[in-house]
Amino acid sequence: MRVSLWQQNQNWSAAQANRLSADETLAATSAQLFGTSNATRSNMSPAEKALQATLGPFGSTIMNSSTGTAVLAAQQAANRVNAATAKLKSFNAPAKSVAGVSTQVTFSGTLAGAADFGTTGPAPDGGFKFLSGEALKTGFTVAMIGRKSHGEAIDTVSVTGNTLTASTSGLNAHPVFTVTLKPDSGLYTFKLVNPIDAPTTKGKEDKFTTLNLSLLVQGVKADGRTMVLPNSAVIEVHTGLGRARGTASLGVIYEGGLAYTGPTKTAAPSKAPVKRPKYVPPVNPLTGRGYSAKGSAAAATSNVINILT
């Protein structure tokens, strides 16, 4: 049977319509699955248009969906990091003192921004070090003027490896704080192990004392020259749990809940004269009169004191 040209044209048109309908269905399904349209955006860059032309509509949809997921995951990670950083930089004290107070009495900082080693560079074994010898003793004495722990002066310093320990040397000698320093990076950790006595100031609930640890450290260049690092490590030690009033350049810690970990306290021997009660002679129950050791009764004593008068 012969088919006319008109009939052939009609058959071709119907086939094309069916194919376009299938393509539209696929596009609609892709949009529902991936939440995006295959249509070319009016604001696409030439590079984006070229990439879409290479990948085709379906490939572009898959790529856009994957990229969007990756971007969302990266943004969520950045938000978590920013939230954690904001919490660390907060100067609000913990809501209450807890049994494990390590987070309240430890501060980590860095000296890196305080040193300029220039073209010489830092010392091969590290550009940040504690002072030593008489220089350390002098710096420590200045830094601890008037500072006490449980009533005793903080007057003793020692360095073992990369850790400095400050202590008292009184009747109840005990460690007060430690500072651990990394020579290569300048990172340091301050840890309070016994409370520091705060100045008594009326009308202020939040009492604190300030320690300038910069007087204990130095920068060292590769040629051996040293540099002072002024105000590079300053710690505020707060006795209570109130809001810190320091600036962002200060390390702020709270010793609330920190127990005394030094030796058992022992009272110092008193040098004051002992006061004894005045002697009162007893009363004779038969006569109601007191006993006497006066000279007028000596004749009747027969070498025995406390004779009736």
What is the DSSP code (8-state) at residue 269? P
Q: Which of 182-196, 248-262, 272-286 has the highest mean pLDDT?
A: 182-196
- Taking alpha carbons only, the member of 237, 259, 252, 241 closest to residue 150 is 259
Q: How much is the pTM?
A: 0.56
| Predicted local distance difference test score (pLDDT) of residue 298 | 43
| Residues 57-114: tens digit of each pLDDT | 666 666 566 666 666 776 777 676 655 544 444 445 566 655 557 778 999 999 998 9
| Residues 135-149: tens digit of each pLDDT | 999 999 999 999 999
- Which of the four pLDDT bands, split at 50, 70 and 90, describes residue 55? low
| Predicted local distance difference test score (pLDDT) of residue 252 | 87
Residue carrying the six token digits 């002098």? 138
Q: What percent of the chain has pLDDT over 90?
A: 37
- CA R_g for the chain: 42
Checking 276-283 for CB contacts under 8 A at 24+ apart, the result is 281/306
| Predicted local distance difference test score (pLDDT) of residue 111 | 94
| Predicted local distance difference test score (pLDDT) of residue 219 | 97
Distance between CA atoms of residues 303 and 51, nearest Å: 129
Distance between CA atoms of residues 240 and 255, nearest Å: 7
Looking at the predicted structure, is the pLDDT value of residue 308 above 60?
no
Question: Degrees (nearest 5) of the Cα angle 124, 130, 131?
Answer: 110
